[in-house]
Amino acid sequence: MLEAMPRGLAKLVLQVGSELSGTIQTGLLAYELLGAALGVFIAYLAYRGYRRNRSRPMLFVSLGFALALGVPLAITLVYLALPVTGGRVVVSVVNQTFEVVGLSCIVYGLRS
């Protein structure tokens, strides 16, 4: 398949499939942390809105953002901090489960 591609495109495809440099990995991690921090901040704002107005839907929106972004962030940070060699699949499945539950809470809160 690579033979049929133009030379420059084939080279790009091969580079994308290779390991990322340390600088790019660090940048991607920082970008991921920024997104998670923003999500946790939104959860905090939604919780404040719930406390101010006693709005049950806002509680679910807050809970959803915390579950979808805050919990996976905490799990990932703990996983990276521990000297564990395996378990990436388990961490990914657990994170994805919390994200789906969190997004379901957000949908429930917005539909109520």
- Domain spans, the chain: 36-112
- If we measure between CA atoms, which residue out of 55, 45, 42, 72 comes closest to residue 110? 55
Q: Phi then psi for 55, rounded to 5 degrees?
A: -95, 110
Closest alpha carbon to 94 in 70, 72, 68: 72
Residues 1-59: pLDDT tens digits?
Answer: 545 555 555 554 445 555 778 888 888 888 988 988 999 999 999 999 999 999 999 99
Q: Which of 4-8, 80-84, 85-89, 103-107 bottoms out in mean pLDDT, i.e. has the lowest?
A: 4-8
In a 3-state reduction of DSSP, which class is residue 54? Answer: coil
pLDDT attached to residue 93: 93
pTM score over 0.75: no
- Asked if residue 46 lies in contact with residue 58, where contact means CB atoms within 8 angstroms, the answer is yes
The residue assigned the tokens 């378990």 is 87
